[in-house]
Structure 1
């Protein structure tokens, strides 16, 4: 799901990577399964009139924890691998190390992990943290590095009893806002993102606004294993 962090890092000037999290927060105790994670689980979205698929394609283990690898049809520009996992009540996204060659500029970034949301929070509760980016790039044979800062602030907007999207009604829906602020070379990029997750179904709506550009997609079908 690119709209969590990945796309923000690319549009910020170059890239940012997140290698540590100083939030110091507990993962909490889960109140339910708001993102079922199993290989071949698939969610199909209406993305501005076209069909867009999000699918779990496999698993990998990092530091003893199983992560579920995602394929997102709307996020294929850079081909960077990413995974999700759940620890307690907290759902995390992890992005792999990557090297991108864009217009002759080779940019390398370390992988990162951020908490997407926490299912045990009450409306208006928040979580936040800062990740320390490590970015290097090569232009015409010359290598340089950038200092960057990625700050995230999440808010539990609502716990809705029911939500109807594209003619289907979903029960027990978490509505989450995630604000990402990326500072690279004194340039600030801010992204406001909103996600809806239905209990025992998973993601059903995504919305993002970055630098005046918006995108949205809503669920039309899903397959769970």
Structure 2
């Protein structure tokens, strides 16, 4: 099956570089100069992954990501010259699956693209689980419907956030290192990933499901080892 990737960036030179590397890997590439063009392309073409720059005219990457997430769980990799931790949190909180800062290593970007496509392919072939609901006190995770409720209220998680929470909840009592979480959710063992990416997703999950994120009831930290959900 041919894989088509949308590259949305207002810098033509960056689009050209990414285009060349993606085409060399056998991917089809569609380009957009801003968020509005990207949204229009998504309405008319089958896209399997989006590389989305944050700083663009007309409609920036953050707003475009929010719009996309209203209708689709397509993998999104944010691309930005900003390196501040808060910017990464903002990008991932809007629903992006990964975040790469400029200037970037082209091989690293390609590795992250492949990791997201593997995760998407893996998830699309997962058979329906025998038990679709996981109940942990007031936390209810429905793996079939991809829904989460806490204390009776719906919690909107991004696809990556849901996958991390479902992974830990399905193995209650087990401690997962950051590497193991990355391999289990992204379905990849590449060295090209940032520990901060996983940690930001963990932080976002806690902000959404915990009454006091700094004193988590569900998603516990095992210092120096990783994360777990208690039995």
TM-score (norm: length of structure 2): 0.24
Determine which structure has the larger helix proportion and give its number. 2
Give the structure, 1 or 2, with the largest relative contact order (CA under 8 Å, sep 6 or more). Answer: 1
Question: What TM-score results when the alignment is normalised by the length of structure 1?
Answer: 0.25
